[in-house]
């Protein structure tokens, strides 16, 4: 078993443990392996160990890896900030986009989604921490944005995504995840059939599952420490 396979197995076990602790059925939370900065060979190792959903933060990496791994049946999740001039390659390649924070981006993705592909599954990114440096719409804008995105013909609105502030204060983290859960309830009460909460990463996965996460995005716990250019 490769190191990546071992680490992936450990993450899966931790996820099952978190589900049990939260009183949720085993397998009710999906795992997206966040593979940014890692080469295609690393994704192949995780794929060989049974992983199918992979998340990319950068458009060029998504383009390069979808080409390099076209022989594999991968479900591609785009989870990074998306500029309006870079929507087309994502609309053409991704299965999911987690990071829609304004209607213009959603409209471009819908317009550019090829007709032969199924609708693009999308989540709205919410800035639950209030940090100025964070992407995402403010909580008060979520319902209006959701009502704008839901009717777009080539998209399927699935739910919400957040990235909480980096803190070791578990109560603060839990409260930010709870904001996202409450917003999902608000959308459902308004008649929007959302079923996805994309929240929780390597360090805070257990807290996110306790607050209702249905997808967790885990990178370093699977692939190891990231190495960025210039480091």
Boundaries of every domain in the chain? 3-21+29-223
Per-residue pLDDT tens for 175-213? 999 999 999 999 999 999 999 999 999 999 999 999 999
The pTM (predicted TM-score) of the whole model is: 0.96
- 230 pLDDT more than 60: no
DSSP letter at 25 equals -
Alpha-carbon distance values, 59 to 63, 210, 220 (Å): 6, 31, 20
Identify the architecture of domain 3-21+29-223 in CATH: Alpha-Beta Barrel (3.20)
Per-residue pLDDT tens for 79-135? 999 999 999 999 999 999 999 999 999 999 999 999 999 999 999 999 999 988 889
pLDDT of amino acid 231: 46
């Amino acid at each position: 078993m490769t190191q990546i396979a071992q680490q992936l197995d450990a993450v899966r076990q931790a996820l099952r443990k978190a589900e049990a602790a939260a009183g949720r059925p085993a397998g009710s939370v999906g795992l997206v392996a966040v593979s940014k900065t890692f080469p295609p060979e690393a994704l192949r190792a995780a794929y060989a160990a049974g992983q199918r959903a992979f998340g990319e933060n950068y458009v060029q990496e998504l383009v390069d890896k979808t080409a390099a791994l076209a022989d594999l049946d991968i479900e591609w999740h785009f989870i990074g900030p998306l500029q309006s001039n870079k929507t087309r390659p994502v609309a053409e390649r991704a299965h999911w986009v987690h990071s829609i924070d304004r209607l213009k981006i959603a409209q471009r993705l819908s317009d550019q989604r090829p007709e032969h592909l199924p609708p693009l599954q999308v989540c709205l990114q919410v800035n639950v921490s209030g940090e100025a440096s964070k992407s995402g719409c403010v909580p008060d804008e979520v319902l209006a944005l959701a009502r704008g995105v839901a009717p777009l013909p080539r998209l399927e609105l699935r739910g919400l995504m957040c990235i909480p502030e980096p803190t070791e204060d578990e109560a603060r983290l839990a409260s930010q995840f709870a904001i996202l859960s409450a917003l999902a309830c608000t959308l459902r009460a308004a008649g929007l059939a959302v079923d996805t909460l994309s929240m929780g990463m390597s360090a805070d996965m257990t807290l996110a599952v306790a607050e209702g996460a249905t997808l967790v995005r885990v990178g370093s716990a699977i692939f190891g420490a990231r190495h960025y250019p210039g480091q």
